[in-house]
Chains A and B, each alone.
Chain A
Amino acid sequence: MITYAPHFISTVVISSMIILFLNRDHGIINNVIAILGGERIDFMTSPGCFSTIYVWSGVWQGVGWGTIIYLASLASVSPELIEAARIDGASRFQIVCHINFPSILPTVITMLILNTGNVLSVGFEKVFLLQNNLNLSASRVISTYVYEIGIQGGQFSYSSAIGLFNNVINIFFIIIMNQISKKVTQISLW
C-alpha cells in the first residue's frame, strides 16, 4: 500500500517536489552532498541530468502501481506447481525463476506492447513542468514543441501535422512490437 502512494500524486506536486529537493542552495540532495564534502551541483539547469531526473522520478512514481497488475497475475499461479517443485528440492530463488516468472510472462509482454505505443509521445505534463530555459536542449520533446508552436505560436497546421505524424508512428510501433512478440514468444495482442 505504501509503494503505490506516489502514483496518486499529481504531476505538478511531483515536479514541485523535485525542484524543491534539487535546488542548488537549499535542496536536501545538495545539503547532503555538501555535508559529505562535495561541491553543490545545480541539477535542474544542466541538460545532462535531465533524462536521469525524468526517468527515475517516473520510476519512483509508477513502480508501485505497476506491480499491482503483476501481483494479480502472480496470484493465479497454481499452488500445485509450487508444491511439486518444493518436493523436487527447488530453492525459493529457483521457484521464482522457473515457475513464477514464466507464468506472468504473458502479462509482461502485453504491458510492454501497450507501452511501446507511448514511446514517441513522452508524456507532456512532467516534461513541461521540469523544463526551464537552461535545460531546453535536453528537455524539448515533440509534445512540448507542439505546444510551443501550436498554442503559443499559433501555427496550427504545422503542429496538427506533427501530432498526426506522432500518432501514426506510435501505431506503427505497436504493430511491429506485436509481430516481434508473436514470432518470439507466441503471445500477442491480436
Chain B
Amino acid sequence: MKKSRSDQIFDIINILFMLVIIIIMLYPLCFVVIASFSEPYDVAKGNVTLLPSGFTLDAYKNVFKEPQIWIGYRNTIFYTILGTAWNLITLIPAAYVMSKKKLSGRTFLSWFFFITMYFGGGMVPTYLLMMKMNLINNPLVIIIPGCVSAYNVFVFRTFFRNIPEELGESAKIDGANEFTILFRIILPTSKALLATFGLFAIVGMWNNWFGPMIYFKNPNLYPVQNILREYLYVIDTANLQQRAGSGVGNFNPTFIQQISPKGVRMAIVVVTMFPIMCIYPFFQKYFTKGMLVGSVKG
C-alpha cells in the first residue's frame, strides 16, 4: 500500500523523535558505566564521551576490596527476598478474601484499606510507633510494617472478582477446600499480575533506603543504597560535621579518603543499580497486561 506524503513525513518525524528520546534516556546510564571503566583523570578532564579512555578495572577493584560493600549486598538481598515474600504472602489471601461476594464485613474492609491509601500518620508518628515496639535497629522494621500497599490489594481483588465463580464451585464439588482453590486455580491464572507486582516489590525493597536510614543505628545493617549514599554524600560536602547528624554511622575514615577518584564513585553507582537492570527485561512481557488489569477496570 503506497503511503501518502503526509504519512511518510509523519513516519520520518516519528523515527527522529524516538531516536532522540532513546539517546536522552540511555546516555546518562551508559556514561556512568563507561566512566567507571576509565581513568579517573580522564573523567575529570572530560575526555570520556562514547568509549572508555584508558580502560582500567581499578575502580572496581577498590570497590570490591571494601568489606562494607559486601555487607551491604548481603543485607540488601536479605531484605529484598524476605520483603517480597512477606508482601505477596499477605497480599494474596487478603485480596482473595475480599473478592468473595458472601463476606459479611466487605464494605467496611474496603473502606478500611482505602483510607490508609490516602491518610497516614506521617513520618514522625510512625517512627514513634516503631520506637515503642522496640523495632529500632532491628532488621524486621523494614520488612514487616508497611509492606502491604492498599492499592495492590484493590488491583488483585478486582482481578480475582473477574475470575468466574463456577471454577471455584466445581472444584468444591470435587472436594477442594479454600486453600486448594487458592493455590491450584486462582494463583496460576494470575501469573501476569503476580509477576508485575512481584517485580514492583523487588524493586521497591532493593531501592529502599529511607527506612534503614532513620531506623538503623548500626552500620552493619545498612543495605547497599545507604552505603552508596554515605560514600557519595558524606565526602562530597565540604563540611563533614554538618552531615554527620543526618544518619551517618561510624564509618571507616581511611576508606573515605581513598575514594575521591571519580571512577570509584561511578563504579559504586554501577554496582548498586546493576542487578535490577539485569532482572527487569525478563519481566517485560507481563507489564502491559498487568497494568491493564489494574487501571482500566478501576
Contact = CB atoms under 8 A, between A and B. Distances in A.
Pair from one complex:
yes
A76 B21 CA distance: 25
A109 B281 CA distance: 29
A68 B210 contact: no
Contacts of B228: 12-13, 16
B164 to A, nearest CB: 21
Contacts of A31: 45-46
B214 to A, nearest CB: 6
Interface string A21-32: 100011010011
Interface string A122-150: 00110001001100000000010011001
B246 interface: yes
B22 A2 contact: yes
A11 interface: yes
Contacts of A166: 122
A101 interface: no
B121 A69 contact: no
B84 interface: no
Interface string B1-37: 0001011001000000000011011101101100000
Nearest to B8: A92
A31 B128 CA distance: 47
A100 interface: no
Nearest to A154: B124
Nearest to B245: A152
Interface of A: 1-3, 5-6, 8-13, 16-17, 19-21, 25-26, 28, 31-32, 34-35, 60, 64, 68-69, 71-73, 75-76, 91-93, 107, 110, 117, 124-125, 129, 132-133, 143, 146-147, 150-152, 156, 159-160, 162-164, 166-167, 170-171, 174
Interface of B: 4, 6-7, 10, 21-22, 24-26, 28-29, 31-32, 43-46, 118-125, 127-128, 203, 206-207, 209-210, 214, 225-226, 228-229, 232-233, 236-237, 239, 242, 245-246, 262, 265-266, 269, 272-273, 276-277, 280-281, 284, 287-289, 291-292, 295-296, 298
The 8 lowest CB-CB distance pairs between A and B, nearest first, are: A163-B122, A10-B207, A31-B46, A72-B292, A150-B124, A26-B44, A159-B124, A16-B232
17 contacts: A8-B203, A12-B209, A12-B229, A13-B273, A16-B265, A20-B266, A25-B44, A35-B46, A60-B24, A68-B291, A72-B288, A72-B291, A72-B295, A91-B4, A124-B210, A125-B209, A150-B127
